[in-house]
Chain A
């Protein structure tokens, strides 16, 4: 059984937003929306769940802080507690102000870099990745919505999409794609 997808193209983000809302009300399934720029409120309209990237960053920051603390405690206090310019290296706490800049920077370093790497992994982005662009115009001035038309009546769904303001509708047979 051939499954079908429909590519509906829009040329305005406001029309796209209202279309997304109407389509969700009709319980059609939106697989993907391709936009040339971030459309404010699109993720809410599509009902996407919130990102947990910030929580990741917080945890990575704690890791960075721990790395800095353990590293300097070992090097400066435990391994070779030299007297360097009269700084008290008897305990970590006593010499802590001198370590704070490093603790701060490593916290930020870990939080920032690991979060970016997490983002790349989660979004499946890397060099030499094959671009997944269904229509080159979506990087310029068109918005493309990909709908799962499996088991739907093609005529009524295209009519409905046309009414939501789509400028172009493409029916795609998945097996031939």
Chain B
């Protein structure tokens, strides 16, 4: 049995408290009103020097008009496509799906920036909340795959996976509260929720979004989220129960077979709901944009982060002496999965990017124009971290058995996939006003604390060896 150490508890609490404080600072740092933002922008312009500041303002006004002409045929700036060097004049031209764009028809640049700054702490919380939830959910999917494929190597890791996937209960509740709060209009991170967006007489009218309100409306959106979360948690609750019952009564493998059937059904449910979840929770930040492989892309990010977390937690517990049956072949297998899924993620990232870059259709390519112009370093840096790093570090078979190599690669993969989610969410919520500061780091720490606390607490609830599993013997002697 694993016992939660005070050290870990204190560490988790410190993370939660510090994270909460930082997040609060982030919320308090939001400028009070548009006047304050106007002042701030004027100061910035002044800092650039008089004449230059003037012209800068003008180009911004100009871009204000351009940011809204998604629904207009002529899209002059969008046709330029892929610009690698990020020059200042162009960087303002790409707020295609930034918040309150409909209001920007009349609103000033300051109003536009003000809304982005108001969104920032909310979006930061959203990214961190989703990131940790996604790890839990990915671990659950990986666990179900292991059950269904009757894997002979992984049963010694089942309790680790159960521990990590247990986070989908608190994480799912937090996620739902966040969605509910957003749906109730306490923040404006989803532009499609703007009041009057589907009303032709309203100033905020956006006929593209209006055409999607059959799917993108708050009640249906929340109901879907509720169904997904209940479905996933139900499976997770059942599979844990079946596993413990199988330990007590392994004769006839009754509970094992039940778990097998449930896992198979869950995987079918999961693949449908995960895809829709990705559209609902991530893709709808850019309601003018769509991509058919988006669900898979989010899934790839999810599964690679989850496998990485499983490997990190396994190495941690093994280091503390709790997993006597885990040998370096198990670590080697996990590292292979980290490597393989990293490549898989890159494949999907590139497939999505290249198809859109190549055809360069204005209504599709804006998504990447925003990212390349406003998030250049982050956007490409994240690809480098998530692809080159695992590729070069985890290719060697011997390195995959060395714990500190796997841990190093794992930490980079997790950071890379946090940035991946960040680059998915931020351009649609804060646009060019992004920065990784108090709210982003704070929210990450806050959810990391809850994650660590809950996951390791679950691990104390049952023995770390699923002793009733019919494949346990094989798994104990697994050797590659």
Contact = CB atoms under 8 A, between A and B. Distances in A.
A60 to B, nearest CB: 14
Interface stretch (A93-101, A114-122, A160-168): A93-101
Given A54-B397, A58-B395, A98-B358, A93 B353 contact: no
A88 interface: yes
Contacts of A97: 82, 350, 353-354, 357-358
Interface in A54-102: 54, 58, 86, 88, 93-94, 97-98, 100
A88 B353 contact: no
A94 B82 contact: yes
B84 A100 contact: no
- Assign chain B's interface to a size class: 10 to 19
Contacts of B360: 86
A88 B350 contact: no
A93 B84 contact: yes
A97 B453 CA distance: 43
Nearest to B347: A104
Contact of A88 (B81, B354, B395): B81
Interface in B97-128: none
A100 B353 CA distance: 12
B interface, by DSSP: helix, strand, loop or mixed? loop
Interface string B387-428: 000000001010000000000000000000000000000000
Contact of A100 (B82, B350, B395, B397): B350
Interface string B349-369: 010011001101000000000
Nearest to A58: B395
B51 to A, nearest CB: 31
Nearest to A87: B358
A100 B397 CA distance: 26
A93 B84 CA distance: 8
Contacts of B81: 86, 88
Contacts of A93: 84
Nearest to A95: B82
A58 B353 CA distance: 27
A54 B82 CA distance: 37
A54 B350 CA distance: 26
Nearest to A55: B396
A96 B360 CA distance: 14
Interface in B73-91: 81-82, 84
Contacts of A100: 350, 354
Nearest to B355: A97
Query: Looking at B82, B353, B358, which has the most chain A CB atoms within 10 Å of its CB?
Result: B82
B238 to A, nearest CB: 38
Interface in A36-56: 54
Nearest to A93: B84
A88 B81 CA distance: 9
A101 to B, nearest CB: 8
Given A54-B397, A97-B353, A100-B350, A88 B82 contact: yes
Interface in B286-327: none
A93 B82 CA distance: 11
Contacts of A86: 81, 360
Contacts of B395: 58
Contacts of A58: 395
B54 to A, nearest CB: 32
A103 to B, nearest CB: 11
Contacts of A54: 397
A107 B424 CA distance: 30
Contacts of A98: 354, 358
A23 B84 CA distance: 66
A156 B52 CA distance: 98
Query: Looking at A58, A88, A97, A100, which has the most chain B CB atoms within 10 Å of its CB?
Result: A97
B136 to A, nearest CB: 33
A98 B360 CA distance: 12
Interface in B329-362: 350, 353-354, 357-358, 360
Interface string A117-142: 00000000000000000000000000
A11 B16 CA distance: 65
A107 to B, nearest CB: 11
Contacts of B357: 97
19 contacts: A54-B397, A58-B395, A86-B81, A86-B360, A88-B81, A88-B82, A93-B84, A94-B82, A94-B84, A97-B82, A97-B350, A97-B353, A97-B354, A97-B357, A97-B358, A98-B354, A98-B358, A100-B350, A100-B354
Given A54-B397, A94-B82, A97-B358, 15 more contacts: A58-B395, A86-B81, A86-B360, A88-B81, A88-B82, A93-B84, A94-B84, A97-B82, A97-B350, A97-B353, A97-B354, A97-B357, A98-B354, A98-B358, A100-B350
CB-based closest 8 A-B pairs: A97-B354, A97-B357, A94-B84, A93-B84, A98-B358, A100-B350, A100-B354, A97-B358
